[in-house]
Amino acid sequence: MTALSGPTISSPRVTVVIPALNEARNLPHVFARMPNDVHEVILVDGDSVDDTIETARRLWADVRIVRQSRSGKGNAIACGCAAATGDVIALIDADGSADPGEIPDFVAALEHGAEFAKGSRYAPGGASDDITVLRSFGNHVLTAIFNLCYRKHYSDLCYGFNAFWRRCAPALGLDATSGGSERRWGDGFEIETVIHVRVARAGLAVTEVPSHEHARIHGVSNLNAVSDGCRVLWAIFTEWRRSRTSGTAGTTWPAESSSRTFPRLRSAGRHHAQFVPGALRTSSRLIGTLGASTAVAGLMLWGMTCSTSAKPGGARDVDHLAAAASPAPRSAIATPDPGPARPNTASAVIFGNAKWRLKFHPTFSGSRLNHSVWDTCYPWANPKVGCSNFGHNEFEWYLPGQDRVAHQHLYLVAKRKRTIGISPTGKRLIYYCRSGMVTTFHSFQFQYGIVQIVARLPSHIGLWPAFWLAASSEKFPPEVDILEHWNRPVRPTGVFLHTVHGPDVVAFPHTANLAVGWHTFSLVWTKYKMAWFIDGRRVLHTDRTVRQSMYFIANLADSRDPSKYGCGGSLIIRSLKIWQR
């Protein structure tokens, strides 16, 4: 790895708001993935009758428990936001369907200029293990109607994983005041749609963040597909109608917060010009009728599917379909395929006309790392003690416990924690960042081939993820850096070739924000050339090459002093594939 120091920018304080009702069995899964450096976690309890509160306190010592002032998910979100003290508020469900490990992606979007980071299962890199084809159709219909009414281009309307700057909260018009048992507008499932409407009306800068929705782990969802779907449709038109008549969001922020200023809000007259097309003014009834008819058809199909899954045996049917759609498990080191194997995400320019055969494709099944495939330290180190890459301005100490497997993914987890390690001279040394790395030194070494990694990079400033090839001879040079990334404004991404003879080959490609969503990193390595690709786009090529055996390394280093700037985040690897001819 080539050492380049990152900027010393402090991260915003993040408040995580979790509405919960009888979710004691799911909370361990949620808190296990919670980033360690969040400012606070607020659990808003809706009068749970199980051990939800006790479980939360056991799992997160500093958790703040807030009681709802009324009932419903919308009121829970309002109460949580009113109690938040962080710079950023992240909203996440308590059923385990949303991954708190993705929160850094949402924060990264906010740090890069967004005022509201909106989760999407349909954005490139997003996915869902829970939604069916027909329910997805209903969601698309509702999203299309919303986009038509508010001139947006959202891909997913009915998803509750969102984050925003706390200073923007007044624009949402959430009502946390006490109202007894009386339910108010926005207290129910429609709250997510209401929030999106008001964000659009306020003119906030919105970025969609790809998110992977997992199936609910325990219990039954409180969502009623038909009635709540109709509430979503009603929310779209109700908020639109209110905006046309009054230019207001319909409800007000709590009185204690009403004095806050919000410079992004615009006058009522400009609201109309911003989001109500002229055609909607003249033919709103026609568009409303057509939209409502289409939505009702979609909701009927959506509700039929949900009703089927709620019947006895419905869960078994869903599990059966999921199993049928999943690929059969492969061995850690795949046997050669009978013919060429090319991923759908790869461009034809990567593979050309040659018949490449998949030679290495480890899986991340179960809950433990397969140590017959993966080493957790450099080959010269004792993995039980740990290791680091001395002499490269790195501040982390790698430990096997920071390599974790979950949800068919490999997580290399960096965490700020006082750790005893070894200095370059062999003396005892205290490190303040422990992290994870893996290598294929003992399981797979190769010469020439195509390497492809699908991964999600961390967003914490200072973390230094890398995918690279090191010489089997354990000598440097050569070294091939498929990717090195620093989450910084200037030259955040680098690809490198360190050869035995001649100068290094270096490139700092211009890419989208790689700290948001999933990305594919590829290397073509032949006897006569090498080429690097990011998301199918070639970013570097050279006639110089390496002509000796190499092995693969993935690691999450820290380029800043964690005792001053912190250390927290995960490098998540979905797949690694290596082809050879």
Whichever domain contains 298, its CATH number is 3.90.550.10
User: Tokens standing for 313?
Assistant: 């045996």
- Whether residues 300 and 358 share a domain: the answer is no
Instruction: Report the CATH number that the domain containing residue 396 is assigned in CATH.
Output: 2.60.120.200
- Whether residues 305 and 354 share a domain: the answer is no
The pLDDT value given to residue 292: 53
The pLDDT value given to residue 234: 74
What values do phi and psi take at 457, rounded to 5? -90, 150
On whether residue 337 sits in a domain, the answer given is: no
- Whether residues 164 and 305 share a domain: the answer is yes
Number of domains in the chain: 2
The pLDDT value given to residue 176: 80
The pLDDT value given to residue 354: 67
- Whether residues 305 and 356 share a domain: the answer is no
The pLDDT value given to residue 186: 66
- Whether residues 263 and 361 share a domain: the answer is no
On whether residue 105 sits in a domain, the answer given is: yes
Rounded to whole angstroms, the Cα distance separating 217 from 29 reads 8
On whether residue 6 sits in a domain, the answer given is: no
- Whether residues 395 and 298 share a domain: the answer is no
b/e burial code for range 162-192 (CB count within 10 A of at least 16 → b): bbbbbebbbbbbbbbbeeeeeebbbbbbbbb
- Whether residues 308 and 361 share a domain: the answer is no
How do beta strands 396-398 and 127-128 pair? unpaired
Rounded to whole angstroms, the Cα distance separating 229 from 295 reads 9
The pLDDT value given to residue 490: 75
On whether residue 231 sits in a domain, the answer given is: yes
b/e burial code for range 149-160 (CB count within 10 A of at least 16 → b): bbebebbbbbbb
- Whether residues 182 and 246 share a domain: the answer is yes
The pLDDT value given to residue 1: 62
On whether residue 487 sits in a domain, the answer given is: yes
User: Tokens standing for 200?
Assistant: 């659009």
Rounded to whole angstroms, the Cα distance separating 470 from 482 reads 11
**Domain final residue pick, 293, 312, 331:** 312
User: Tokens standing for 218?
Assistant: 């325990």
Q: Which residues contact 324 (CB under 8 A, 6 or more apart)?
A: none
Structure pTM? 0.50
- Whether residues 272 and 387 share a domain: the answer is no
b/e burial code for range 528-541 (CB count within 10 A of at least 16 → b): eebbbbbbeeebbe
281 in helix, strand or coil? helix
| Per-residue CA distances from 127 to 97, 105, 156, 485, 570 (Å) | 11, 15, 11, 24, 19
On whether residue 323 sits in a domain, the answer given is: no
| Per-residue CA distances from 467 to 257, 268, 381, 388, 433 (Å) | 47, 52, 19, 16, 20
b/e burial code for range 59-77 (CB count within 10 A of at least 16 → b): bbeebbebebbbbbbbbbb
Question: Is residue 285 exposed (0-12), middle (13-18) or buried (19+ Cβ within 10 Å)?
Answer: exposed
| Per-residue CA distances from 54 to 24, 42, 46 (Å) | 8, 14, 14
Could you list the pLDDT tens digit for every one of the 581 residues in the chain? Answer: 643 333 323 478 999 999 998 899 999 989 988 988 899 999 999 888 899 999 999 999 999 999 988 888 888 999 999 999 999 999 999 888 888 988 988 888 888 788 999 998 887 677 787 676 767 777 788 888 888 888 888 888 888 899 999 999 998 888 887 766 667 776 677 788 889 989 988 888 888 888 888 877 775 555 555 666 677 777 777 777 766 655 444 443 333 333 333 333 223 332 333 333 343 343 444 455 455 545 555 544 444 444 333 333 333 322 222 222 233 333 333 323 333 334 444 445 566 666 889 999 999 988 899 999 999 999 999 888 999 988 677 899 999 999 999 888 999 999 998 899 998 888 899 999 999 999 999 999 999 999 999 999 998 888 999 999 999 999 989 999 999 998 777 778 888 898 887 778 888 888 878 888 899 999 999 999 999 999 988 999 999 999 999 999 999 999 887 777 778 889 999 999 999 99
**Domain final residue pick, 312, 337, 371:** 312
Rounded to whole angstroms, the Cα distance separating 503 from 210 reads 39
- Whether residues 397 and 284 share a domain: the answer is no
- Whether residues 29 and 161 share a domain: the answer is yes
On whether residue 340 sits in a domain, the answer given is: no
Question: Is residue 105 exposed (0-12), middle (13-18) or buried (19+ Cβ within 10 Å)?
Answer: buried
Residue 193 CA from chain centroid, whole number: 21
The pLDDT value given to residue 229: 66
The pLDDT value given to residue 46: 86
Rounded to whole angstroms, the Cα distance separating 153 from 278 reads 18
Q: What is the CA radius of gyration of the chain?
A: 25
Q: What is the DSSP string of 127-169?
A: EESS--HHHHHHHHHHHHHHHHHHT---S-SS---EEEEGGGG
**Domain final residue pick, 260, 288, 312:** 312
The pLDDT value given to residue 147: 86
- Whether residues 393 and 292 share a domain: the answer is no
Residue-number span of the structural domain to which 217 is assigned: 14-312
On whether residue 332 sits in a domain, the answer given is: no
